Homo-oligomer: A and B are copies of this chain.
Amino acid sequence: MAAAERHLAMLVAYDGTQYHGFQRQRKGLVTIQELIENALAPLFEPPVRVKGAGRTDAGVHAWGQVVSFHGRGSAIPAERLPWAVNAHLPPDVVVQRAWEVPRDFDARKSATGKVYRYYIWNQAQPWPMFRRYAWHVPRPLDWEAMKRAAALLVGQHDFASFRDLGSSAKRTVRTIGALRVCSPADLCREIRTPAAATTTPPACALWSVPAGAGFIEVEADGFLYRMVRIIAGTLVEVGLGRRSVDSVAAALALGDRASAGVTAPPQGLVLVAVFY
């Protein structure tokens, strides 16, 4: 008699710097999916195939990637699974939690929404600790203009202008539920300024998030290929005064990739959360 099939999901955090994205690629390119499947191989009857909620690109990070899979041949309790799997994973890919799911749960198809965040380091000199986790934009950004432009993208729109080639999606209408632009000043206001603010380092906050880091956070029901990075690139062009706020609405209306801004580099992007 065949061993009972189990249906599991795992919350995975990773530093994507070293990898060729989530999804399996041709041989020789190490991906997060492959690492996770290989780490599950000693625990379940092969083959084990995992599905990921977000197909993060090469160099993109995740705090809250969700993967699902079906497995036979192991009775390990779901709550012990992170230790068992992490023993076979490198230190930059870590299973945070695991739980049983219904048979028809699919990390990607069952998701009702996702949140991505794009970090920008906006000071003249780079910040060493953020070199893998933010886009360094050395010229001062007009964050208020970026906020006005961001507001134009909220809601249900055809985001055909905001996707790169390589997308397989036929439908390009998506709904952005929230697009939050958080400037370095917003972060410093929101987080307490320490008494030692007279010191030379450009520090603010309990976490001393250095005053210079900001982010763009996008919550949507789904994302087109590189959509968040194109939104970030477009908003940064607005912030640098290279394009007007209105041009963002125009780009949306045109439905043409060339009308939107550059694709921001991968290291600033992180998959923050997935909703079900």
Q: A residues touching B (Cβ–Cβ < 8 Å)?
A: 11, 13-15, 61, 63-64, 66, 82-83, 86, 91-97, 115, 117, 123-129, 131, 133, 182, 186-187, 190-192, 196, 199-203, 206-210, 219, 272-275
Q: Check B129 against A274 for contact (C-beta < 8 Å).
A: no
Beyond A191-B190, A206-B187, whether A64 also contacts B199 by CB under 8 A is: yes
**Which residues in B have their C-beta under 8 angstroms from that of A83?**
125
A92 to B126, CA, bound (A): 9
Set B117, B191, B201: member contacting A273, Cβ < 8 A: B201
A-B contact pairs, 22 of them (CB 8 A): A11-B200, A11-B201, A13-B128, A15-B128, A15-B131, A63-B129, A64-B203, A91-B131, A96-B123, A96-B125, A117-B208, A129-B133, A187-B206, A196-B273, A196-B275, A199-B272, A199-B273, A201-B273, A203-B273, A207-B207, A207-B209, A208-B272
**Which residues in B have their C-beta under 8 angstroms from that of A125?**
82-83, 86, 94-96
**Which residues in B have their C-beta under 8 angstroms from that of A206?**
182, 186-187, 190-191
A97 to B272, CA, bound (A): 33
